[in-house]
Amino acid sequence: MWCTEGDHNSHLRPSGRQIDCVGTKGKSPRLFTPADSSVSSVAIRQSGGYVATVGTRFCTLNWEDQSLTVLYTVDKDKKNNRFNDGKVDPAGRYFAGTMAGETAPGVLERHQGSLYVLFPNGTVEKYFDHVDISNGLDWSLDHKIFYYIDSLSYSVDAFDYDLQTGKIANRRSVYKMEKEEYIPDGMCIDNEGKLWVACYNGGRVIRLDPETGKRLQTVKLPAEKTTSCCFGGKDYSELYVTSAWGGLDPDKLARQPEAGRIFKITGLGVKGIAPYAFAG
């Protein structure tokens, strides 16, 4: 997630059991280590600080005193589950999904996850279950469509979306991954309404037109496990792409010395939009 605090611009990246705050002006990363569980997503909070998904908990975070407050715990009957990706919708609700714990990257018990929504009043609703790996999500520019990825479906899906209530309906696929694109992971939208999808094991991000179902652009990266993407920079014209190194054998690691790094892509000719803040 891209974050602007005064004159400080930074990329907030959940990274295992901590959050990295990576500045763009040559400053050293700042770390937040809030808990003994994995941090999978983080978002700005309108009232100050942040919200995050930690293990199976929705939480608030205070970066200054390194404190964490639990708001709600999900999947209490599934001790091996954890949250994965999450994002705030245009009305300030926090959408986030779960998955089973992996025994190896991409290897897990199927259909154990769900998609949840944390409302600004503190209530939580499960929208659907039987999810494999709940992943990328975003909303159309007119706020009428919700885009969603369950990674092992190898599809980018769309739902009708009601801005006033947050309800979703009429699920359908808008893009099926090609063989060389491998697994769809994190996702964001640009100011032309096109989707950018990180391709795990594919070493690339792709730009899609959700109306036509066509791939418009491919940007390859020197790390095959590309995990997510978001626009940032002062005018949101830079695309930041995260990557992972877990699961790579020594030979692949030697050939991919930049695996696990954050990449900045410029000159794309499009911009992103600012992230929405949680309204609670």
Measure the CA–CA gap between 83 and 94, rounded to whole angstroms.
12
Tens of pLDDT, residues 92-146: 999 999 999 988 877 899 999 999 999 999 999 999 999 999 999 999 999 999 9
- The mean pLDDT of 30-46, rounded to a whole number, is 78
Is residue 280 one of the residues assigned to a domain? Answer: no
Q: Would you say 102 is a known binding-site residue?
A: yes
Is residue 276 one of the residues assigned to a domain? Answer: no
Choose, from 20, 185, 249, 251, the residue flagged as catalytic.
185
Is residue 258 one of the residues assigned to a domain? Answer: yes
The answer on pLDDT for 31 being more than 80 is: no
Is residue 169 one of the residues assigned to a domain? Answer: yes
The answer on pLDDT for 15 being more than 90 is: no
How many domains would you assign to the chain? 1
pTM: predicted TM-score of the whole model, two decimal places = 0.91
Is residue 273 one of the residues assigned to a domain? Answer: no
State residue 8's pLDDT score.
41
State residue 6's pLDDT score.
41
Q: Would you say 80 is a known binding-site residue?
A: no
Which residue is it, tokens 């715990």?
A: 73
| Domain membership of residue 67 as a residue range | 2-265
C-alpha torsion angle, residues 123, 58, 40, 156 (rounded to 10): 0
State residue 4's pLDDT score.
47
What is the Cα gyration radius of the chain?
A: 17
State residue 64's pLDDT score.
83
Is residue 274 one of the residues assigned to a domain? Answer: no
- The mean pLDDT of 194-208, rounded to a whole number, is 98
C-alpha closest to that of 175 among 198, 195, 205, 145: 195
State residue 7's pLDDT score.
40
- Answer yes or no: 185 catalytic: yes
Which of 3-17, 207-221, 261-275 comes out lowest in average pLDDT? 3-17
Tell me how crowded residue 12 is: count the other CB atoms within 10 A of its CB: 23
Tell me how crowded residue 4 is: count the other CB atoms within 10 A of its CB: 15
Q: Would you say 109 is a known binding-site residue?
A: no
pLDDT band with cut points at 50, 70 and 90 for residue 5: very low
* CATH at 150: 2.120.10.30
Contact 226, 236 (CB under 8 A): no
C-alpha closest to that of 169 among 139, 146, 194: 146
Contact 58, 246 (CB under 8 A): no
Is residue 251 one of the residues assigned to a domain? Answer: yes
For residue 276, the one-letter residue type is Y
pLDDT band with cut points at 50, 70 and 90 for residue 38: confident
Is residue 231 one of the residues assigned to a domain? Answer: yes
